[in-house]
Amino acid sequence: MPFVTTADGTEIFYKDWGEGRPVVLSHGWPLSSDSWEAQQLFLAENGYRAIAHDRRGHGRSTQSWGGNEMDTYADDLAALIEALDLRDVTLVGFSTGGGEVARYIGRHGTARVAQAVLVAAVPPLMLQAEDNPGGVPLEVFDAIRAGSLADRSQLYRDLADGPFFGLNRPGASVSQGVRDAFWRQGLQSGHRNAYESIAAFSATDFRADLDAFDVPTLVIHGDDDQVVPFEVGGNASAARIRDATLTVYAGAPHGITDTHKQQLSEDLLSFLRTF
């Protein structure tokens, strides 16, 4: 299996499909690159080199003890891009992966980047604060941390059976297989890695990173997202990023890589073709 080794010896697993201009897909918590498989296959079959990696501590990458925060996630992404010598890259980040993309641009710039896409992403800042009063209260994330320590397997079951795919809404329907895939990927992550990543995705302030965006950017978000609320996530990011394009999926939950996978794939392809 292909891996890139980072400066601290962490091995980052990646899947490299297709040929053409590169697209790098960063996944959400507590998942892996497998969560992008529908979009990765679609883009590779439509003339792009689609690359998806497992964040450190997730999937098949090393369960490192340290580095479970956004600066290191972004540096790992940079290590992957530089090792593969990717140019004119379109960076696509879902949820926590959107934070990884934002911090990458904030720390490493856009010399290798042509476009960016944030999908149901955590920027600008999820956590409620004095200067972010509409954010999500700390108690919500403390409950996730408590669930992770008490019974992490059941926590992932509850997320998949409830808010992640919007299954607590009338009429929502997602297959048992999709829910099982969420659970399987979650349990592939390291216990400590996934636990510490809760702080990384909830409390990292990406506002300065978004100010550094100087490439065409597409923001996609469901307006019934119960994990990263639309007003906190996509709507706020689109308002902050210079000349960003906002696409709203009406009534969509957080997990749109599965619930709206065809629509998302086609929207990504349309945006790629604008370059």
Catalytic site residues?
95, 225, 254
Report CA dihedral (83, 87, 90, 94) to the nearest 10 degrees: 10
Q: Is 217 helix (H, G, I), strand (E, B) or coil?
A: strand
CB 268 within 8 A of CB 43: yes
Element (H, E) at 135: none
Give the C-alpha separation, 54 to 32, whole Å.
Answer: 5
Give the C-alpha separation, 37 to 42, whole Å.
Answer: 8
Picking from 160, 189, 201, 169, the residue whose alpha carbon sits closest to that of residue 63 is: 189
Give the C-alpha separation, 12 to 40, whole Å.
Answer: 18
